């Protein structure tokens, strides 16, 4: 069993109310677009080809049979950063970023006392949207999502070959909403604390609650938001969601007066994610900052290829980068199997 810390309540009532105000005051939320890495290994593969391919293969946690295009629409959710390192984007986020309940849970998660909050960001899922089952993109000394493809970082962690370089990251997922509006249907967090072969745990989203866990290791996803059968709302690049006059309003683009749709707090799933590096001591934190003992792509691929050879699945060294990428994902990422529809 991997530890997960439930925080209920997460903050005191006034702080939680202030978080709802912060969410509403944020100017506009845009479509989440996966950033590209600088690396060019197998560049034709999407950054999270691993999770997307599994989603399309299985039809999600409940094995629903839908066209790939519909499934793609279901994962077009909105995301904005509130804080990134020491940069504050949403004034007032500091109380959340450095909240003692999150810091305490992060310390307990790995038994590492030095916690360095790295990011806080909002995810908004509209009716019909969901988050495919995945593990998050981990980070290693010298290897992160800015340098190398995201799927490769995930493969590296699942292979267990690079633990010496791994940065233990604690992830907090917190929920804030205007409770007076009622809760949205669905949108539960589904996670597998005992691994892909174990039972799933389902956590409802309630205002001012949260969970801290190792989402780089624990498979998780978000169940479909909204009543059964609801079609996904087709959010397209450039669309923005903003809170106006007590409603969430989706517009085609910033500055537009056109309204594509409006939603109440009781129709959207709003979460604020938090990630923090967890260090044993200041010396370890300094090694990370100074880049002593960093990995390189050559070393990563050599180690993985050697392991594939030992497993007997690498029978030729004539593979293209894409073929090697698919073999790595297939070999190391074992997803939970979907439940019956
Ligand atoms: Fe995640």
As a whole number, mean pLDDT of residues 97-109 equals 97
Q: Which range has the worst mean pLDDT, 31-45, 88-102, 275-289? A: 31-45
What is the model's pLDDT at position 165?
92
Distance from residue 245's CA to the centre of ligand 1 (Å): 31
Query: What CA–CA distances, in Å, run from 18 to 7, 119, 144, 206?
Result: 18, 19, 33, 16
Distance from residue 75's CA to the centre of ligand 1 (Å): 12
- Is residue 229 left, alpha or beta, with left meaning phi > 0 and alpha meaning psi from -120 to 50? left
How far apart are alpha carbons 331 and 341 in whole angstroms? Answer: 27
Domains of the chain: total: 1
pLDDT band at 283 (very low <50, low <70, confident <90, very high): confident
Average pLDDT in the chain: 93
In a domain, 250, yes or no: no
How far apart are alpha carbons 51 and 132 in whole angstroms? Answer: 7
Share of the chain above pLDDT 70, in %: 99
31 and 78 in contact (C-beta within 8 Å)? yes
**Does position 2 have pLDDT exceeding 80, yes or no?**
no
In a domain, 261, yes or no: no
In a domain, 339, yes or no: no
In a domain, 181, yes or no: yes
Distance from residue 202's CA to the centre of ligand 1 (Å): 15
Distance from residue 302's CA to the centre of ligand 1 (Å): 28
Distance from residue 274's CA to the centre of ligand 1 (Å): 11
Residue 204 CA to chain centroid, in angstroms?
17
Q: Range of 176's domain?
A: 4-237+267-332
Which of 68, 129, 95, 63 lies closest to 270, judged by CA? 129
Q: Name the DSSP class of 140.
A: B
CATH at 216 = 2.60.120.620
What is the model's pLDDT at position 341?
54
pLDDT band at 1 (very low <50, low <70, confident <90, very high): low
193-210 confidence digits (pLDDT tens)? 999 999 999 999 999 999
Distance from residue 315's CA to the centre of ligand 1 (Å): 34
In a domain, 341, yes or no: no
Q: Name the DSSP class of 317.
A: S
Distance from residue 309's CA to the centre of ligand 1 (Å): 31
**Does position 299 have pLDDT exceeding 90, yes or no?**
yes
Q: For residue 170, what is the enclosing H or E element?
A: strand 169-175
How far apart are alpha carbons 116 and 209 in whole angstroms? Answer: 21
323-333 confidence digits (pLDDT tens)? 999 999 999 99
Distance from residue 234's CA to the centre of ligand 1 (Å): 21
What is the model's pLDDT at position 340?
64
In a domain, 122, yes or no: yes
As a whole number, mean pLDDT of residues 74-101 equals 94
| Encoded tokens for 122 | 């909002």
Is the Cα torsion angle 15, 226, 57, 72 positive or negative in sign? negative
In a domain, 227, yes or no: yes
pTM of the predicted model over 0.85:
yes
Backbone angles phi, psi at 331, to 5 degrees: -75, -40
Distance from residue 131's CA to the centre of ligand 1 (Å): 8
C-alpha neighbours within 13 Å on the C-beta side of residue 8:
9
In a domain, 244, yes or no: no
Distance from residue 222's CA to the centre of ligand 1 (Å): 9
Distance from residue 310's CA to the centre of ligand 1 (Å): 31
**Does position 218 have pLDDT exceeding 90, yes or no?**
yes
């Amino acid at each position: 069993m991997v530890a997960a810390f439930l925080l209920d309540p997460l903050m005191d009532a006034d702080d939680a109310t202030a978080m709802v105000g912060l969410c509403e005051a944020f100017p506009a939320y845009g479509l989440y677009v996966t950033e590209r890495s600088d690396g060019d290994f197998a560049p034709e593969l999407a950054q999270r080809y691993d999770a997307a391919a599994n989603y399309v293969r299985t039809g999600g946690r409940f094995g629903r049979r839908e066209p790939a295009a519909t499934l793609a629409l279901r994962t077009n959710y909105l995301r904005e950063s509130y804080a990134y390192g020491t940069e504050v984007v949403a004034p007032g986020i500091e109380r959340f970023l450095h909240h003692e309940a999150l810091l305490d849970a992060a310390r307990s998660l790995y038994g590492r006392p030095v916690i360095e909050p790295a990011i806080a960001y909002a995810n908004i899922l509209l009716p019909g949207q969901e988050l495919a089952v995945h593990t998050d993109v981990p980070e290693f000394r010298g290897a992160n999502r800015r340098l190398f493809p995201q799927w490769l970082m995930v493969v590296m962690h699942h292979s267990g070959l690079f633990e010496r370089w791994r940065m233990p990251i604690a992830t907090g997922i917190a929920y804030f909403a205007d409770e007076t509006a009622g809760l949205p249907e669905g949108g539960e967090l589904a996670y597998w604390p005992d691994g892909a072969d174990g039972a799933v745990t389902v956590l409802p989203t309630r205002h001012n609650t949260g969970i801290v866990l190792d989402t780089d290791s624990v498979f998780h996803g978000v169940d479909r938001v909204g009543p059964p059968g609801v079609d996904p709302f087709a959010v397209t690049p450039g669309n923005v969601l903003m809170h106006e006059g007590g409603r969430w309003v989706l517009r085609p683009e910033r500055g537009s007066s056109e309204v594509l749709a409006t939603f109440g707090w009781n129709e959207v799933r709003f979460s604020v994610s938090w990630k923090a590096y967890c260090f044993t001591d200041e010396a370890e934190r300094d090694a990370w900052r100074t880049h002593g003992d960093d990995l390189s792509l050559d070393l990563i691929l050599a180690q993985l290829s050697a392991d594939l050879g030992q497993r007997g699945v690498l029978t030729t060294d004539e593979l293209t980068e894409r073929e090697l990428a698919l073999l790595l994902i297939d070999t190391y990422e074992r997803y939970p199997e979907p439940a019956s529809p």
